Amino acid sequence: MAEPRGTNPVAMAVETVPPVAASAHGSPRDPLLARHREARRRRDAAPLNSEAYREASIDIARIEVEIARLERREPMAATP
């Protein structure tokens, strides 16, 4: 049985997470996130187990590694 709206602590936490604020000059992650979205679109559009699907999946993994490296070098600023 589903809990009434507003009583599930996990759902409440997800709903209250503030959006990540970008600096005035943008975040170095922005281009990587755009590439990640594009690669996910390509993977989602490709037939399962096709070469295009595999290539897009590899691109996604590489981009995620780049994002993780960037986040290790530049800790995210605390939100007020």
**Distances 75 to 8, 26, 67, 68 between C-alpha atoms, Å:** 30, 15, 12, 11
pTM of the model: 0.60
Q: What is the number of H-type helices and E-type strands within the chain?
A: 3, 0
Q: Given this model, what pLDDT does residue 27 score?
A: 86
Residue scoring higher pLDDT (78 or 10): 78
Please give the average per-residue pLDDT across 55-62, as a whole number.
Answer: 98
pLDDT digits (tens, 9 = 90+) for 2-46: 545 555 544 443 343 333 444 456 788 999 999 999 999 999 999
Q: Given this model, what pLDDT does residue 64 score?
A: 97
Q: What's 47's DSSP letter?
A: P
